[in-house]
């Protein structure tokens, strides 16, 4: 666990391409709201595979507890 983990947050975003929810596996279609993980410490060199994305349903059910998965 990094000392910067407490700075992570989920940011509401509208999908410009298809994504997959990291919690339930549901496909997030273009135009749907989803919640990608963000952090002020993430740089331009951060790989997309290091970032998690969650669908609106999982966010409404689990909220910020998703960051602890």
Instruction: Please count the structural domains in the chain.
Output: 1
Note the pLDDT of residue 22. Answer: 95
Beta carbons within 8 Å of 51's beta carbon, 6+ residues apart: 36, 37, 38, 42
Give me the pLDDT at residue 4, please.
53
In this predicted model, what pLDDT tens digit does every residue of 28-42 receive, in sequence order?
999 999 999 887 766
Q: What does the pLDDT read at residue 45?
A: 54
Whole-prediction pTM value? 0.78
The DSSP secondary-structure symbol of 59 reads H
- Half-sphere exposure for 8 (CA within 13 Å, toward CB): 19
Share of the chain above pLDDT 90, in %: 51
Q: Give the whole-angstrom CA distance, residue 42 versus residue 45.
A: 8
Q: Show the domain range for 48.
A: 5-68
Q: What is the pLDDT of residue 66?
A: 87
């Amino acid at each position: 666990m990094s000392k910067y983990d407490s700075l992570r947050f989920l940011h509401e975003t509208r999908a410009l391409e298809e994504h997959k929810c990291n919690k339930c596996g549901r496909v997030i279609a273009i135009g749907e709201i989803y919640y990608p993980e963000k952090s002020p410490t993430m740089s331009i060199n951060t790989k997309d595979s290091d970032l998690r994305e969650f669908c609106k349903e999982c966010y409404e059910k689990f909220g910020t507890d998703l960051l602890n998965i």
